[in-house]
Amino acid sequence: MPLGERAGDKSESRYCGVETEFNDDMPHLLSFNIHGGFDFLVAPLIDPTYRPSLMDQDSGGSGALPFAGSDLVLSPSQWSSHVVGKISSWIDLDSEDETLRMDSESALKQEIAWASHLSLQACLLPTPKGSSCANYARCVNQILQNLNSMQLWLRIPLVKSDDETRNPDHMGEGQTDTWELWNSFRLLCEHHSQLSVALDILSTLPSPTSLGRWFGEPVRTAIIYTNTFLTNARHYPCLSRSHQGLTTAFFNHSIQIVISGEPVHNPPMGRSLESSGSADNNNEGGWRHPLKSYLDYLAYLYQKMDPLPEQERFELGYRDYLQSPLQPLMDNLEAQTYETFEKDTAKYIQYQRAVSKALLDRVPDDQAATVITVLMVVGAGRGPLVRASLQAAEETGRKIKVFAVEKNPNAIVTLHSLVKLEGWEKLVTIVSSDMRQWNAPEKADILVSELLGSFGDNELSPECLDGAQRFLKEDGISIPSSYTSFIQPVTASKLYNDIKSHKDLVHFETAYVAKLHRIARLAPTQCVFTFIHPEHSTKNSNQRYKKLRFDISPDTGSAIVHGFAGYFDATLYKDVHLGIEPSTSTPNMFSWFPIFFPLRTPVCVKPNTPLEVHFWRCCGSIKVWYEWCVTSPSASPMHNSNGRSHWVGL
C-alpha cells in the first residue's frame, strides 16, 4: 500500500519496494511481501547457481534455457506492476576470465530477454565490478537498441568522493567517486533514455553539494539497507538527520525507496511474519512482516512532509515539460493563455505597488485633486494592467487618464467589453495598434508594460519599449525600469534526453521554457544582460555579449552540464521588483517558468576546473536570436549560429 497521501501528489515515490533473495515460488514470495505492506519486489528471476557454460555441458549443447518457473505463475498485471527483475549479481562482463566474461554476456542477454517477455517495467543491473566497464556498457547498449519500453536500472553505490574506505562488493578498485562510474557507463551507452540509476544508500553520505548532482540524473530508485538505519530510544529503526533529508528529497523527486537486507532491529512489536507460513493467514493472526518497522518509518517520513502548496499542485503537470517560448509579437495570444496569466495575482499586486509609488512621486498631495497623470499601458492584453493601474490611482487618491494600447484585435474586443462592464469610459481610451507604429495624441507620464519573458528580454521587451519610448515624456517613468537575465549550469538528464529524442540539430539549438524540477543546479546564478528603460543613450543597440566563468564547488566532485537554466529579475519601480531568479524570486508567482538553453554535447566538469560559457543576443532586421557556446573545460560547437534554428520575430 502507498506510504501515504499528500494533497495533489500522485508521484511514484509513494510506493515502496523490497529487495529479496531468489525464490522459485514467485507467487508465495509476492503474496508474502505485498501482504506485508510493500508495493513491489526487486527479485532475481534466475537461480543464482546457473552458468551458461555449465548448462551447455549438462544439456549436451542443446542450449536448454534455465528459467526457474513459468511466466504463467503470475498474471501479466502482477509481473508488470509488482516485480522488478534483478539481474544475477555474479555477472562480470569485464572479467579477465574469458569463461566468466562469456557466461556473463550470455546470462545478461537471456535474463533481460526473459524480463522483457514478462513485460516487467524495469530490471536492476549489478554494479560494474572492475575499474573498466567498457564491455559491460557495450553489451547493455546493444540490448538497449532493441529493448521494448522496459527500463534498465544500473546499481550504483552512493559513496563519498573523499572516502578512503571502499566496499569491494560495490565498487571497482581505485574508484573514489561512484558518480564517475555512472558517468562513464552512461557515456558509453550514448545517454540512452531507458538507462537509469538505482542508488545504494550506505551509512555514510557525501557532502550536500555532492549529493545534489544526483537530482539532475535519471535516478529511479534508492536502495536503503537495514544496517543503514539507526536505533531510537524505543528500539525502533530510524535514520540520521542527513539520511532523513535525503530520503525526503527522494520523495520530492519521485524516486522510489527499496528496503534491502535482513532485519537488524528488534522493536517491541510481537512476533514477526515467518516466511514458511501463509501470508494471508498470518496477517489475520496479527503477524507482521519482518521488515514492517522499516516500512512504517519510511511511511512516517513521507506523511510528515508538508503538503504541496497550491502553486506546486498547479504546476505538477508542467514539471520538466519542454515548451517553446511565446512569440507575442509574431503571434496573437489565445484566450486560454490570457486566462492563465490573468490569474497570477502576485504579479499584478507588484505592478499595482509600483504604479502607486510612481503616482505618489509624480503628483504631490496638494496637487492630487487637480493634476491628471497620463498613463499608457502598452501591450494591454485583456486589461489586467489597466485594472491594476486604476486601482493604484484609487488607492493613492490620484487622477489618471489611461491609454490601453494592444495589437491583438481579439483582445481589443474583450477590452471594449471590459470598459463598458466596469464603467471606465471616461478613464480609459482603447487603442488598437502596434505600440511601435502608434502616433500618440499626447505624451505619457508613466508607461506600463508586461512584455517580459522567462529570460527577461526574450519576448522583445527592449525592441517594443524602444518603439514606445518616443511618446514618453523626458522625465517620464517606465514600469518596469530595468531587467536583468541570469543563467546557471545545470545537470538535466530528462530534458537532455527529451531533446535528443528528436534526433535533429534544431531542437538542440532552441531555448525552451520549462518548470525545472529534476535538475541539479551546479553553481550560483550570474547575470547576463541588463536593459534599462527609458534608454536615453544615443548608442542604443540591443545587441549584447557576455562571457561568464562558473566555479563549481570542489566538494561537488565531477558533474555533467546538460545546459543552462535562465531566469530574470526586473525592477518595476524603485524598490518594487518582480522575477524568477531563485535567490530573489517573487513568492507565489507562476506567470514565468525558467528558460533552458541546451548543449548539443554535455560537458563533464572536473573539480577545480572552471566552466566558461559565452552568450550573445543578436539582432537582425526581422528577428532577434541567441547564440551560445562553452570554451572551457573543452570547446563546444557554436549553438544557433545566425539564428538558424530558433529566433524571435520582430
Q: What are the pLDDT digits (tens) for 39-75?
A: 999 999 998 888 888 765 555 545 555 555 678 889 9
Same domain, 564 and 500: yes
Please tell me the number of Cα atoms within 13 Å of 232 on its side-chain side. Answer: 12
Instruction: Tell me: pLDDT of 517 over 50.
Output: yes
**For position 628, which CATH number holds?**
2.70.160.11
The last residue of a domain, from among 212, 243, 260 = 260
**Domain-embedded: residue 462:** no
Instruction: Tell me: pLDDT of 8 over 70.
Output: no
Same domain, 39 and 158: yes
Q: What is the pLDDT of residues 520-532, one digit of tens each?
A: 999 999 999 999 9
For residues 448 and 389, is the Cβ–Cβ distance under 8 A? yes
Residues tagged in the binding site annotation: 338, 347-348, 406, 434-435
Whether a cis peptide bond, with omega within 30° of 0, leads into 480 is yes
Annotated active-site residue in 105, 459, 463, 509: 459
pLDDT of residue 213: 95
Same domain, 151 and 29: yes
CA 58 centroid distance within chain: 51
**Domain-embedded: residue 317:** no
Q: Average per-residue pLDDT in the chain?
A: 90
Same domain, 416 and 497: no
pTM surpassing 0.75?
yes
Same domain, 429 and 564: no
190 is catalytic: no
- The number of folded domains in the chain is 3
**Domain-embedded: residue 371:** yes
Q: Grid coordinates in use for 154?
A: 544500473
450 is catalytic: yes
The last residue of a domain, from among 426, 450, 474 = 450
Q: At what angle do helices 134-145 and 178-188 cross, to 10 degrees?
A: 50
Give CA–CA dist 465/226, Å, rounded.
Answer: 62
- Which domain covers residue 342, as residue numbers? 335-450
Instruction: Tell me: pLDDT of 424 over 50.
Output: yes
Residue ranges in 397-445 assigned as alpha helix (H): 409-422
pLDDT of residue 10: 61
Instruction: Tell me: pLDDT of 354 over 60.
Output: yes
**Domain-embedded: residue 272:** no
**For position 32, which CATH number holds?**
3.20.20.150
pLDDT of residue 277: 37
**Domain-embedded: residue 320:** no
**Domain-embedded: residue 637:** yes
Q: Which residue has the cell 560495490?
A: 170
Q: Grid coordinates in use for 252?
A: 520530492
Same domain, 144 and 103: yes
**For position 401, which CATH number holds?**
3.40.50.150
The last residue of a domain, from among 210, 245, 260 = 260
Judged by average pLDDT, the poorest of 88-97, 242-251, 325-334, 468-477 is 325-334
Same domain, 441 and 341: yes
Instruction: Tell me: pLDDT of 272 over 80.
Output: no
Same domain, 434 and 542: no
pLDDT of residue 439: 92
The 8-class DSSP code of residue 411 comes to H
The three-state DSSP-derived secondary structure of 240-251 is: CHHHHHHHHHHH
Q: Grid coordinates in use for 69?
A: 518457473
b/e string for 357-393 if b means 16 or more Cβ within 10 A?
bbbbebbeeeeeeeeebbbbbbbbbbbbbbbbbbbbb
**Domain-embedded: residue 300:** no
Same domain, 379 and 496: no
Q: What is the pLDDT of residues 584-599, one digit of tens each?
A: 999 999 999 999 999 9
Same domain, 219 and 340: no
Residues tagged in the binding site annotation for S-adenosyl-L-methionine: 338, 347-348, 406, 434-435
Same domain, 204 and 64: yes
Annotated active-site residue in 105, 111, 217, 450: 450
Same domain, 99 and 17: yes
**Domain-embedded: residue 80:** yes
